[in-house]
Amino acid sequence: MLRMLAGLPVLGRVWLYSLLVGAYSGLAVWKEHSPLRDRWDQPAQIHEVFGLILGLFLVFWTNRAYERWWEARTLWGQLVNTSRNQAVKLKNLLKLPASDLRQCESILIGFPYALKAHLREGCELKQVPGFADSADNPDHVPIYLVSLLYDRFRKWHQMELITGDELRILDLEATQLLEICGACERIRNTLIANSYRRFIQQLVILHLIALPWGLAQEFGDATVVIVTIAAYFMIGVTVIAHAIEEPFGRDEDDLDLNQLCDKIEGGVREIFARQMPLNSQSS
């Protein structure tokens, strides 16, 4: 249990803010011991109702923030699947020149790295593994890589290395690359509707400002403890929801994009490296 209480870095700031709110609530307690004690008293009840309704809206925000986070995770999981399937088909279903296979391997491995950089600080083609000595400098690297892939497809189709049906099989996966890219951009660029976030934050602040004056009369010195815990709860939910809303950063709750890139690279490399064990088995 102690380990559970130890908390995470992201929750450290929250404790700080909560203690500040707790200190502020000391004002309301002090008032109860001062000549002003009989003024401005309110029943605690109304704060409870307000707190509950606020809780409903915090759950609303939490749900929506979590859905975005999980959708982002699903998109990257889809990228893992797409890369593997595309690699299996290029290697095992088709009969392509070794040099072309190497290029496709570079594109499939480079794409997640390019997407990761694109979603964070922007991507230069030269930074993508396998493209360090490329002469091009495209604005949008993921689109560039997909263009390379389709250019390959056209060449093979023209040279009759692949049939129209095989082209369509390849197209199914290749199309998903830009769909995943666009969906990740959507999540990065559009937070939950601004008014809601601002509005909920306002209400949390108003609630924390008003709460001590409602509790002080009944709860006395315990007010400080209770307000601190309530502040920890409310600020904590707000801060976590805010952090979760942006899943592509480097915070502790963000997706582990580095590991996912490694995973895709490992899978694709293994597929391209394998020397058809089948030939011996099946012939």
Q: With respect to a second copy, which residue has the nearer C-beta, 37 or 168?
A: 168
Find the shortest distance in angstroms from Cβ 81 to a second copy: 4
Q: Is 206 helix (H, G, I), strand (E, B) or coil?
A: helix
The binder of a second copy chosen from 144, 216, 246, 261 (CB under 8 A): 144
Q: CA nearest 85: which of 268, 263, 283?
A: 268
Find the shortest distance in angstroms from Cβ 178 to a second copy: 5
Find the shortest distance in angstroms from Cβ 4 to a second copy: 5
Find the shortest distance in angstroms from Cβ 34 to a second copy: 18
Residues making up the chain, counted from first to last: 283
Residue type (1 letter), 44 = A
Q: Does 276 bind a second copy (CB under 8 A)?
A: yes
Find the shortest distance in angstroms from Cβ 247 to a second copy: 9
Q: With respect to a second copy, which residue has the nearer C-beta, 34 or 281?
A: 281
Residues 69-128 contacting a second copy, CB under 8 A = 69, 73-74, 77-78, 80-81, 84-85, 88-89, 91-95, 100, 103
Contacts 24+ apart (CB under 8 A), 95-102: 95/161, 96/156, 96/161, 96/162, 97/161, 100/152, 100/155, 100/156, 101/272, 102/272
Other Cβ atoms closer than 10 A to 259: 9
Stretch that binds a second copy, among 24-32, 109-117, 270-278 (CB under 8 A): 270-278
Q: With respect to a second copy, which residue has the nearer C-beta, 121 or 165?
A: 165
Q: Which helix (H) or strand (E) holds 276?
A: none
How far is 142 from 55, CA to CA, in rounded Å? 41
Q: Does 5 bind a second copy (CB under 8 A)?
A: yes
